[in-house]
Amino acid sequence: MTRILQAMGRGERACGEELLDLVYAELHRIAERQMGGERPGHTLQSTALVNEAYVRLLGEQSSDWQNRAHFFAAAAEAMRRILIDQARRRRAAKRGGGARAGELHDAIASPVAADDSSVDILALNDALSRLQEQDDRMALIVKLRYFTELSVDETASALNISRRTVIRDWIAAKAWLRRELVGPRDDADHE
């Protein structure tokens, strides 16, 4: 995979099909995970999400993916943006009708919404944007850990930081997102 990514970085777009063969199953798993948070009856299916994200990735001017983790992070980000764009279109069509994304997945639902409440995908995107303004690295760690499902070690490698830094930032980011999305937690209610 590294060889193919390097060839694509040099502009050898013909390697795109070979890359897709290698990564399709993993991209589909990421798409299914992201689609799991969507409302029932969502018009976009995981296969279509994979295909659209892959087309966007191949169309990017700068596709200098350094490694497997970097590629999958870019793919997950592309999928996230597609889902956000679709949610915005839905909301615009409903004139602000409050489209819901469904429950957040375990990676963020447990720490962010311990009561399994639903979170609006646009609210999540807005919260991530605010987090990115305050701490770019923390926001990137959330994207890598949540959307791409990279392990702590893979995230540390992708960002060239220590494992301890990833863990510390991941914990802080989850707490920050919890406050932004569901408000301050009353510990008396959760004993």
Tokens, residue 55: 């087309």
Q: From CA 52, how far away is CA 116, in angstroms rounded?
A: 30
Tens-digit pLDDT profile for the chain (191 aa)? Answer: 878 887 877 777 777 778 888 888 888 887 877 776 655 555 577 888 888 888 888 776 556 777 777 788 888 888 888 888 887 777 666 644 433 333 234 434 433 333 334 456 778 888 889 999 999 999 989 888 877 778 899 888 888 899 999 999 999 998 888 888 877 655 544 44
Output the CA angle 106-42-130, nearest 5 degrees.
Answer: 55
List beta partners, residue 118: 103
Number of Cβ within a 10 Å radius of residue 79: 26
Amino acid present at 121: I
pLDDT of residue 143: 83
Domain ranges of the chain: 2-190
Residues with Cβ within 8 Å of 121's Cβ and at least 6 positions away in sequence, in order, are 37, 38, 83, 84, 87, 99, 100, 101
pLDDT computed for residue 99 by the predictor: 33
Q: How far is CA 165 from the centre of its chain?
A: 20
Query: What was the pLDDT predicted at 33?
Result: 75
Block residue for tokens 């220590």: 162
The answer to whether 163 touches 174, Cβ cutoff 8 Å, is no
Residue 70: C-alpha distances to residues 5, 48, 76, 92, 168 (Å): 10, 22, 10, 33, 21
pLDDT score recorded for residue 62? 55
At residue 42, the pLDDT reads 57
